[in-house]
């Protein structure tokens, strides 16, 4: 009933398991709070003191079963260290949830999430704090976005590190697609939600949505008054925005 954080993250396997769980929690929270699937498609878990909904296979909801299979394909790419970017998109693109992954290939890496703390190691407590903060930010933001259209469609795109990924590699449940970027009908706005570092991995989350859907959001929501880490708002290209994090 609980998503337990390890007391220490000393191996790459421990880090990988945590990143997989965090990705599952984040995607489940997003789809639950945006009303993509019915209540029956989710189970209830606790992540520290935060109650979260976890997507599961539901025979009465083929869409949730398909997304679970996609997630298993993501895990395959993540474990092989091919996975670079993961886009969960609501088409024609109304919202996009952009997960970016970085790995270390030569053992634990020092704090690569901060340009100002190059000499600081990443503790398990740091990872836990960042994980819970990320999920809380998702909850707050999802509950304040405008409702989605009734005819919304969910799709997923994976991008890889070309220098290490075999040309013919496709994880289970995926097929090759022509990369066309993202096209929004309205002016997009980019939100840098947060990042979670471990000694072996780094996960970042950005959300892109139509600017007009954010116009009614209280600016205090973006400031995240109870934390010291606000949501960063940008209007440029999300890849360019990520360079400033």
Cα–Cα–Cα angle for 172, 176, 179, rounded to 5 degrees: 130
Residue 220 inside a domain? The answer is no
Q: Provide the CATH number for the domain around residue 56.
A: 3.30.900.10
Q: How many domains does the chain have?
A: 1
What is the tens place of the pLDDT at every residue in 91-140?
667 889 999 999 875 544 433 444 444 445 788 889 999 999 999 999 88
Q: Specify if 228 maps to a domain.
A: no
Q: What is the pTM of this model?
A: 0.81
The answer to whether position 26 is within a domain reads yes
Residue 242 lies in a domain: no
71: in domain? yes
- Residue 68, pLDDT above cutoff 90: yes
pLDDT tens, residue by residue, 20-44: 999 999 999 999 999 999 999 999 9
What percentage of the chain carries pLDDT values higher than 70? 78
Query: pLDDT category, 178, cuts 50, 70, 90?
Result: confident
Closest CA to 138 of 56, 59, 73, 196: 196
Range of the domain at 158: 12-165+183-213
Q: How far is CA 222 from the centre of its chain?
A: 18
Taken as a whole, the chain contains a residue count of 245
Which tokens sit at 30?
């997003």
Using CA atoms, how far residue 159 sits from 29, 167, 219, 236, in Å, is 22, 12, 32, 20
DSSP 105: S
């Amino acid at each position: 009933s609980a998503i337990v954080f390890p007391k220490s993250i000393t191996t790459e396997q421990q880090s990988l398991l945590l990143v997989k769980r965090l990705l599952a929690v984040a995607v489940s929270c997003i789809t639950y709070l945006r009303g993509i699937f019915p209540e029956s498609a989710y189970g209830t878990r606790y992540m520290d003191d935060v109650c979260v909904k976890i997507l599961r296979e539901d025979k009465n909801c083929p869409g949730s079963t398909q997304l679970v299979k996609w997630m298993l394909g993501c895990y395959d790419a993540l474990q092989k260290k091919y996975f670079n970017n993961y886009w969960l998109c609501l088409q024609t693109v109304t919202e996009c949830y952009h997960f970016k992954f970085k790995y270390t290939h030569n053992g634990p890496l020092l704090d690569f999430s901060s340009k100002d703390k190059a000499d600081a190691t990443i503790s398990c407590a740091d990872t836990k704090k960042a994980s819970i903060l990320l999920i809380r930010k998702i909850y707050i933001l999802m509950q304040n976005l405008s409702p989605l259209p009734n005819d919304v469609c969910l799709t997923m795109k994976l991008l890889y590190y070309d220098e290490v990924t075999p040309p013919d590699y496709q994880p289970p449940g995926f097929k090759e697609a022509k990369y066309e970027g993202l096209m929004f009908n309205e002016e997009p706005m980019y939100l840098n939600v947060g990042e979670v570092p471990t000694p072996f991995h780094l996960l970042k989350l950005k959300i892109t949505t139509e600017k007009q859907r954010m116009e009614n959001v209280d600016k205090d929501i973006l400031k995240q008054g109870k934390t010291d880490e606000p949501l960063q708002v940008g209007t440029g290209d999300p890849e360019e925005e990520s360079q400033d994090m």
